[in-house]
Amino acid sequence: MNWFDSAMHRALLEAALVGAMGGVVGVFVVARRLSFFTMALTHATFPGIVIAALLGINLLLGGGVFGLLIVAGVVMLGRGRGQDFTAATGVALAGGFALGVVLISAQSGFTKDLTAYTVGDILTVDTFDLATTAAVTCVVLLTLAMLGKELLLRAFDPDGAAAAGLPVVLLDLALLALVEMAVVATVPALGAILTLALLVGPAATARLLSDRLALLFPLAAAIGVACGLAGIWISMVADVAAGASIALLVGAVFAVALLLRRGVRRPRRSTALSGAD
Amino acid sequence: MNLFEPFATPFMARALIELIILGALAGTVGVLVLLRKLAFVTDTMTHTVFPGVVIGYLAAGEGGIFWGALAAGMVTAALLTLLTRRRKVSEDAALAMLLTSLFALGVVLVSRQSGYTTDLTAFLFGRVLTVTGEQLAQTALISVVVIVMLALLRRPLLLRAFDPETAEAAGYRTGLLDVATNLLVAVVIVAAVRAVGTILVIALLIVPAAAARALSDRLALIVPLAVVIGVLGGWFGLATSYEASIHHGVRLAAGGTVVLVLTGLYLLAGLGGVARRRIVRRRAAAGPLDQATAGISTGVTG
Amino acid sequence: MADTAPPASPPDGVPPDAPPEAVPPDAAGPQAATSETVGPEDGAPRERDVTLRMEHASIAYGDVPVLEKIHGIVHPGEAVALIGPNGAGKSTLIKAILGLVPVVRGRIEVLGRTPALARRDVAYVPQADTLDPDFPVSVEQVVMMGRYRKIGWLRRPGRADRTAAAEALEQVGLTQRARHRFGTLSGGQRQRVLLARAIAAQPRLLLLDEPFNGVDAVSQHALLEAISVLKGRGASVVISTHDLAIAHLACEEVCLLNRYQFGFGPAEEVLTPECLRATYGGHALELRGDRVIVAQS
């Protein structure tokens, strides 16, 4: 019997892959404060997946392309005067999701598909899904390995990056595309809402635990993988939804790190303020 | 498309009344959400109410949903005020963690029930077509309370949104104002979530106000415009959904259609806003006298 | 921050860690240039005519002091300029006078009350560029905000409120822009609107945080005029600024700050090369022996 024949094995591998990818990409999501935007992306990808299913083309491709269209829309709308970025993001989130709901409600089997989409179903991933996730993970990690330096400069010193002559608009688009790829690969496993947990949680936890940039990526990836694997195990033992137990675990790890940091940092806290005007 | 015919049946009429009340309520509170840039906080609250809904349902059946949601709403409103006031962690990441963790808690709880997908769908998309008279009365009562609160607090809330430092310097308790703001948003979410679901709530709280803002720079106009857009979205959305399913044999989810109509109105308002600014600019260019006086009062001469 | 603020060493003669009770009132801080710092002297206004009284006040965030031993008095109709490099604690002092930052030692009294209790008679003018220019409020709405505390929660703005707002706007010369959106005005005009808002509150103490930053000449003139009218009506004014020339123009008194108080008194006595060099540390540059140019980073 092939190792991949077990649904449990496939789920574990999928969880490890999306955990690692989510952790690494998440470092940028957290640094650039893109959480809400990522949430909108996960929701706006939905109609793309439905349309792709209707047209019979690759679901990930359809979702990805549609998500990028929404990104462009948000960036344009958010530039209007009086329209702050968050409001435009909120409109894209609600509007995109509703479009998916309306499209899918016109089909039959409404609730089943929708639930799989909103909270995910990692136990049903097949070998093809796994291969796709693995490929996406490789592409994302390779791109980050090549562009990581520039993206980090852009994240921590936007003006400095522009002054250094980096193509900041292209870099921003590249980052959004990477986040979108991670979203599209993670949504089938964790669902539209809980994908956000893996794309923010491990990286936010890593930042609480370490101030050293070099450590952030491996730390975030390790936390993502560990939460993914442990979450699947818990869901098996306790018979609860797998995606939700992963997200809950990520939240718990973050909370523990937050408490630890509070404890450690308190004595040093005031020094940071001593220069305050 | 007939805008009145669908609402002859009692269940459609109740759905329409519910959406009109909620559209007006959420449109008003939505302006506060817009001014304070609380879109993500609002989205977080719509999801953190979920475990309350589940626990309430498990404890006391249908009747427990409202109270469970209310309790969860109050708790998260307080938690969010704390989170957003201390800027230790990036606020954005903290919100994301609160959102996913509490929502996941709800999913874990509900996934231990059999046939949970229906419950989840009801929470996400609501059951606007099964609204009862009692629910209508609840929504109306909550609306009155919220509107009275807003009317009382409007000046401090405006000053807090525009210039938090000065609000504090003037002696306003901005911490309490922030709690009040979050509570108001939470109450609207709780009132709306059973009927219209989380996605429609977030749409009602964000889209009408954003559209109204595109159309006007004056707060005195933005609030009524947001109310009108919220109400129109509910009305047209329901009518479209009904029309499509009765006359064209296409089932369109009512809540989703309302959101799509709202999004359409938002895009129209965006175009309207661009046109409005063009006209203003052209008028300014046409009146050299105006410009001269503006130049004098600005006092910027090279 | 760290590179602009010189090492926090107090001026000669005052040990930095001397407990405040060990410092006699008139020995706190460098007293070389301080004339009328303490208590009623001969000819000084009587006790009840003091708007702002600071007595060896130390202000801290948490355990770390930001300002220590601030000492001085401001009378009605007087203006004092807070001068010091970035990070010197000017804004912190303003916040302490508003009662938003605690005084850990010593005392700050506004109109004989604690700062928090005196807020109704105090108005604060923030820097205009800290406010969102897209916010949908009109100029007259912003000015009316100055009346909110007097209007209360339920009442609508009455005739007195509208008159006060209109007069305040008139004083800064922006009556014809009343219906414009706040964000459409230039930076200097916005600053004038914020001053009008403070004037509308009819304060007895006015606090301005860097009001002249990036302000055009016309607006600067309008601001100075309005401030002097306010002083004429008996209000006291505290202005934090970088601009020594403006400090000279608008204020009788100067308070030199950099973690400690390096001088408090009439401008011509305090704005000396010695005091400025002490305040600004390495950032002061002397020209021809009698002028000091302060390089801001």
Residue A197 in contact with partner chain B when CB distance is under 8 A:
yes
Q: Are strands C260-266 and C253-258 parallel, antiparallel or unpaired?
A: antiparallel
Kind and range of the H or E run holding B29: helix B10-35
Quick check: A76 pLDDT over 80? no
**How close, in Å, is residue A15 to chain B by CA atoms?**
16
Decide the pairing of beta strands C52-61 and C64-74.
antiparallel
Segment A12-36, tens digit of pLDDT? 999 999 999 999 999 999 888 888 8
C68-90: per-residue pLDDT in tens? 888 888 889 889 999 888 778 88
- Residues of B with a Cβ under 8 Å from any C Cβ are 35, 152-153, 155-156, 158-159, 161-163, 165-166, 168-171, 213, 216-219, 222, 293, 297-300
Helices A85-105 and A59-77 pack at an angle, to 10 degrees, of 140
What CATH number labels C52-132+203-294?
3.40.50.300
Q: For position B240, which CATH number holds?
A: 1.10.3470.10
Average pLDDT over residues A255-262: 84
Number of domains in chain A: 1
In a domain, A269, yes or no: no
Residue B302 lies in a domain: no
What's the pTM value of the predicted model, to 2 decimals? 0.82
Domain for residue A35, yes or no?
yes
pLDDT of A203 over the 90 cut: yes
Tell me the HSE value of B178 on the side-chain side, using a 13 A CA sphere: 20
Mean pLDDT along residues B262-279: 87
pLDDT score of B119 more than 50: yes
A220 CB neighbour count, 10 Å cutoff: 28
Give the span between the Cα atoms of B159 and C48, in whole angstroms.
33
Do residues A8 and A236 lie in contact, with contact meaning Cβ atoms separated by under 8 Å?
Answer: yes
Q: How far apart are CA B181 and CA B187, in angstroms?
A: 10
Whole-number Å distance between alpha carbons of B195 and B17? 12
What angle do the packed helices A35-55 and A85-105 form, to 10 degrees?
30
Residue B233's pLDDT band, with cuts at 50, 70 and 90, is: very high
Give domain status of residue A12, yes or no.
yes
In this prediction, residues A136-158 reach a mean pLDDT of 86
Q: What is the mean pLDDT of residues A211-236?
A: 90
pLDDT at residue B227, rounded to an integer: 95
Question: pLDDT tens digit string along A125-143?
Answer: 888 888 888 999 999 999 9
The CATH number assigned to the domain holding A191 equals: 1.10.3470.10
**What pLDDT was estimated at residue C85?**
81
Nearest CB to B100; choose among A33, A94, A197: A197
Q: C26 pLDDT exceeds 50?
A: no
- The domain of B265 spans 5-291
Question: Are B143 and B25 contacting, i.e. CB atoms less than 8 angstroms apart?
Answer: yes
Assess: ipTM above 0.90: no
Query: CB-based contacts of B253: which residues, under 8 Å, 6+ apart?
Result: A101, A102, A105, A110, B125, B241
- What is residue B2's three-state secondary structure? coil
Compute the nearest-CA separation of B300 from chain C (Å). Answer: 7
Q: Is B301 part of a structural domain of the chain?
A: no
Amino acid letter, B22: L
Question: In this predicted model, which residue has the larger pLDDT, A104 or A114?
Answer: A104
pLDDT tens for each residue of B158-195: 999 999 889 988 888 888 998 999 999 999 998 888 77
Mean pLDDT over B226-255 rounds to 86
Contact residues, B window 179-218, toward A, CB-based 8 Å cutoff? 199-200, 202-203, 206-207, 209-210, 213-214, 217
- Structural domains of chain B, count: 1
Query: Among residues of chain C, what percentage have pLDDT more than 70?
Result: 78
Q: Under 8 Å CB-to-CB from C149, ≥6 apart: which residues?
A: B170, B171, C120, C201
User: Residue B96: which of A89, A97, A200 has the nearest Cβ?
Assistant: A200
Summarize the confidence of residues A104-130 as an average pLDDT: 73
Within a domain: A28: yes
Residue B296 lies in a domain: no
| Range 91-120 of A in CB contact (< 8 A) with B | 91, 93-95, 97-99, 101-102, 105-106, 110-112, 114-115, 118-119
The whole-number pLDDT of residue C90 equals 87
Asked if the structure places residue B298 within a domain, the reply is: no
